[in-house]
Amino acid sequence: MYRTHNNGELRAKNINTEVTLSGWVQKIRDKGFMVWVDLRDRYGITQLIFDEERTPKKVMDKASKVGREFVIQVTGTVIERESKNPNMPTGDVEILVSEISVLNTSLTPPFTIEDKTDGGEDLRMKYRYLDIRRNPVRNNLVFRHKVTMAVRNYLSEKDFVEVETPYLIKSTPEGARDFVVPSRMNEGQFYALPQSPQTFKQLLMVGGMDKYFQIVKCFRDEDLRADRQPEFTQIDCEMAFVEQEDILNIFEGLTRHLLKKINNVEIGDFPRMTYDEAMQRYGNDKPDIRFGMEFGELNTVVQHKDFKVFNTAELVAGIAVPGGNSYSRKEIDKLIDWVKRPQVGALGMVYVRCNDDGSYKSSVDKFYDQDDLAKWAETTGAKAGDLICVLSGETNKTRSQLSALRMEMAERLELRKADEFAPLWVIDFPLLEWDEETERYHAMHHPFTSPKPGQMELLNTNPGAVKANAYDLVLNGNEIGGGSIRIHDKETQSKMFDYLGFTPEEAKAQFGFLMDAFQYGAPPHGGLAFGLDRLVAILGGQETIRDFIAFPKNNAGRDVMIDAPAAIDKEQLKELNLAITLKP
Amino acid sequence: MYRTHNNGELRAKNINTEVTLSGWVQKIRDKGFMVWVDLRDRYGITQLIFDEERTPKKVMDKASKVGREFVIQVTGTVIERESKNPNMPTGDVEILVSEISVLNTSLTPPFTIEDKTDGGEDLRMKYRYLDIRRNPVRNNLVFRHKVTMAVRNYLSEKDFVEVETPYLIKSTPEGARDFVVPSRMNEGQFYALPQSPQTFKQLLMVGGMDKYFQIVKCFRDEDLRADRQPEFTQIDCEMAFVEQEDILNIFEGLTRHLLKKINNVEIGDFPRMTYDEAMQRYGNDKPDIRFGMEFGELNTVVQHKDFKVFNTAELVAGIAVPGGNSYSRKEIDKLIDWVKRPQVGALGMVYVRCNDDGSYKSSVDKFYDQDDLAKWAETTGAKAGDLICVLSGETNKTRSQLSALRMEMAERLELRKADEFAPLWVIDFPLLEWDEETERYHAMHHPFTSPKPGQMELLNTNPGAVKANAYDLVLNGNEIGGGSIRIHDKETQSKMFDYLGFTPEEAKAQFGFLMDAFQYGAPPHGGLAFGLDRLVAILGGQETIRDFIAFPKNNAGRDVMIDAPAAIDKEQLKELNLAITLKP
């Protein structure tokens, strides 16, 4: 037997017990006549002591030869520790070692196995198995497990059934981003890896499963933005005989349960906001509502003077930055440079200092008097000591720029607190989204989303105005889930495919099975999917999903530890009837 | 709201309540003045009644127009049923309907949605979403969910952490069976889908996760034997600082827990048997021990007479078929034909009838007298009324043939009872297996399995005799799990790769990361994997894993419902820098 106890469990009550422990050498202090070793495993650290007066010489000699990250097994007696360490659960005791064996040696690790390591991201990824030995990384993985168990148990108790849908499916119209898998048995043909189990979960509803969920890997072969992964995990759900309200209630319940169970935070009913309102108040369909700085729309207030920039703007909107009047002129100039960066893209920024004496000082004093500026302050909710920042231009662009500024100011003011949780439902999303590149509308959510009742007709006259039965759950400014009530009759689904530019042949080839299924008594249904990686990161109070994935890939989609993807054998290619067309 | 109750929950206590129900029309009986409809959902069936005296005419008219599998919503009052049906949980009540709406129509389904359907396998697979509406299929999926929840909760309570390992990995030496996935971002390179997360779980042990599990899809692109799937699900586990005994105990505990919780069957300690013993007693490394018919080895008993067939045979072995003496001569001749079929491959069969009067009548009476035959009976454990069947020849072949005969007789005698469970550990597997095709030894389990202590040396002198720290869990004649204690030092692992025919370059290219990891303090570790599909099928008392998979593929690896795999766009191929080399 390798151990009688783990390294996190011995306490004062175990004193005088003989124990066997195994683990990694975290630290060695060798004073010659005495050696202390911190022995580590997943459960904690226990201090070992080797003492030339009480430890056999052979054992003493071996002990002085172990190095960091050696794997050792020791047997000894639990004794009271002379200088107790109240910061360690095992800090009351130490083990007086009588036997030691080295189970494995270790080279000096390429970075320190400490909570704060000296290893950079690249090195830690290459040696991810060593990185996982560090508490923060390992704790994140254990945390993720706790979240998934809580999700599974909650949904199971609510009669949801976890059903495994296939990974080897068929390429879909968003096919450009599908990973494909050549089949050996079916020559010249390919499976695709699912970007989501969407159609399968809908078929499960047609099949009467009633309530389905699955924690499932999904795949997307796209250029990776920062903090995206080619394989990612969803909590995927679908319910039959439900309206939007039913779905919001269930998954609000789940999220509330997680916040309570995992974070010990009680949240009341989640606020709801339409997409239009979110865009108007925050310039963003996933607003972080942990803090204010809501947009004030200033058009009626500003467009009566000679300031041409505002008069010709589709939207003039501002936010009141709390305490922002403390910014120096130089700092404000820097902020203006910041909004003009290509990533933000504003042409300039107008600002108003709200002085402590109630007066205002703006960058456009030439055009606006104190009464005007008082109205700006009123509209943006600015108080004495604040700084009003105003952007203007085309509506969507201005909103997006002002949203970026709002988030930046929140970061600087440390208003985005990791231990504060502000969930929000954003509802009534548009059905369609204009795509500049292809110059046509495409489905904002996906082609299975139903329009709001009676809005189907608008498709031909004002497509951009059609609202969908679609909703997102936003947590702390991140979209953590989204879903919709689906179309469940063949006719509407055909119309939708037609509208989205599928020929009947394409629709049949891609989704014939779904349309067939809709002919055999499909129930009304809807659902949603949570991004597990993101959800876990936010619950864990952190930003990067990579920190909650055991073996993540880098921005180029590579696993640098195993060095994948890689070339494959000619023989293998031949068996798959494939040739690589790249010039060497 | 689509429903106030589901179709399985109304009871006598609900009488006089107004309810709204939704579901599928299972059955309609239309007597003109009265219409009965069985309304079905996942939870059960509730009877609706439309009565011209009590139901509005408009509702009555609508009711008489609904057809099988229509999706309807009704509102009405729960009333006492006139002719109660004690076989239905809701059989005491029916719903007197006052409102009805048709939520969706249905074409006549291609097969009946009944427990016993008229649909053949192919049709049911094509319309799997309708097949899932049938209780047996849907119940199997719910059953599978219950099993996985029980597994997860059990292992979580034992400190196991479920960690998701990547699906996009690198092709391995068993690469011929890897599914590969071309990468768009990494031109000309491929990921592979995992045949198992083997190396990743070992790296998690190096990373100090201590106890890992995962319920995970695995992939193998091989010619599908009956009842195999190209994607299948494993309960994958690994533990650090363990010996074989620790692993057997934990997973014996898990299996016992499942049998108790899912099947309400109490099992004591699982018997253990070495591989050699299993082969000797049952001719099989996964013996079904729910019944006897153990092999009697007859060499010393038979090889002293003039029967040349036996005298020249490496092995002569027999089984006693209980009650087999009732077989007519014709039936025995048919049995002899059966063992001579190419699938079994015996050259013939000697038999001995054990008469009720204690006398024997054999097919080789010319060579053996009653005393001889009495010894045969003793060796095989035959009693009066039994039939002794004896095969002979090369040891391995004879065992395999006699094992086939034993299983066949068990089927005929109905000794393989679905509700009886006989687990068994088979231990001490050989490390290596001779491969006729490549004419060399390869790893029986996988190249990471450790040999028994002190047997490494045998590799050079008698490789076939080297035993491994490898074990299988057998349940009712099926291998449901297998695993091993792994090699955890670089030197042994290198030797093993070398022995298995990897050049150092190949070993480095394929497994460099694992060997690197072993240099940084890898702990002793081991684990196992259960085949979830098989386990669930056996616990569910059934034979075919396909019945427990929501969307299975057929023997050609095709999903006939979605028609995958399929050809992909030229554009897609081009983006992947691939060309198909098949002649059209």
Tell me, what DSSP letter sits at residue B55? S
Residue B292 sits at φ, ψ, to 5 deg, of -85, -115
As a whole-number percent, the residues of chain B with pLDDT over 70 amount to 99
Backbone φ, ψ for residue A235 (5° rounding): -95, 105
How far is B376 from chain A, CA to nearest CA, in Å?
46
**Hey, are the CB atoms on B132 and A523 less than 8 Å from each other?**
no
pLDDT band at A70 (very low <50, low <70, confident <90, very high): very high
The answer to whether A532 is annotated as binding is: yes
Contacts of B2 in chain A (CB under 8 A): 241-243, 524
**Predicted ipTM?**
0.95
Per-chain mean pLDDT for chain B:
94
Question: How confident is the model over B200-238, as pLDDT tens digits?
Answer: 999 999 999 999 999 999 999 887 776 789 999 999 999
Nearest residue in A to B584, CA atom: A188
Annotated binding site of B for ATP: 220-222, 229, 479, 531-534
What's the rounded Cα separation, in Å, for the pair B66 and B394?
68
User: Whose CA is closest to A557, among A230, A169, A243?
Assistant: A230
Tell me the C-alpha distance between B162 and B159, whole Å: 10
DSSP-derived secondary structure letter, B322: T
Look at residue B551 in the predicted model and tell me its pLDDT: 97
Contact B152 A156 (CB under 8 A): no
Selection from A268, A494, A291 nearest residue A407 by Cα: A291
Task: Map residue B200 onto helix, strand or coil.
Answer: helix
What per-residue confidence (pLDDT) applies to B501?
Answer: 84
Q: How many Å apart are CA B450 and CA B448, to the nearest integer?
A: 6
With a pLDDT cut of 70, the percent of chain A lying above it is: 99
Of B546, B568, B548, B572, the residue nearest B557 (C-alpha): B546
Check whether A357 is labelled as a binding-site residue: no
Which domains, from first to last, does chain A contain?
12-104 (2.40.50.140), 138-168+194-272+423-556 (3.30.930.10), 291-413 (3.30.1360.30)
- Report which residue type is found at A321: V
How much is the pLDDT for A2?
97
Three-state DSSP class for B466? coil
Nearest to B572 among A1, A106, A175 (CB): A175
Query: What pairing do the DSSP bridges indicate for beta strands B231-240 and B315-321?
Result: unpaired
Half-sphere exposure of B96 (CA within 13 A, CB side): 17
Q: Give the whole-angstrom CA distance, residue A102 versus residue A304.
A: 83
Residues 6+ apart with CB under 8 A from B573: B579, B580
How confident is the model over A369-425, as pLDDT tens digits? 999 999 999 999 999 999 999 999 999 999 999 999 999 999 999 999 988 999 999
pLDDT at A174: 54
Strand (E) or helix (H) holding A74 = strand A71-80
CA dist., res. B389 & res. B319, Å (int): 5
Contact B204 A550 (CB under 8 A): yes
Question: pLDDT tens for residues B12-69?
Answer: 999 999 999 999 999 999 998 999 999 999 999 999 999 999 999 999 999 999 999 9
Statement: residue A175 has pLDDT above 70? no
Residues linked to residue B272 through DSSP beta bridges, in sequence order: B425
Q: Which residue of A has its CA nearest to B146?
A: A161
Where do we find the tokens 């995970």? B216
Candidates A71, A208, A522; nearest CB to B42 = A208
With cut-offs at 50, 70 and 90, classify the pLDDT of residue B296: very high
Cβ A525 vs Cβ A488: under 8 Å: yes
Best interface-test mutation with A: which of B40, B102, B137, B190 has the largest number of A CBs within 10 A?
A: B190
pLDDT at B532 over 60: yes
Say whether B206 and A243 touch across the interface (CB within 8 A): no
- Cβ pair B2:A564 closer than 8 A: no
Mutate to test the interface with B, among A6, A138, A199, A241 (most CBs of B within 10 A): A241
pLDDT reported for residue A444:
87
Q: Which residues of B touch A565 (CB under 8 A)?
A: 168, 170, 181, 183, 186, 189-191
Q: d(Cα A106, Cα A114) in Å, to the nearest integer?
A: 16
- Residue partners of A249: CB distance under 8 A and separation at least 6: none
Token pair recorded at residue B401: 């043939």
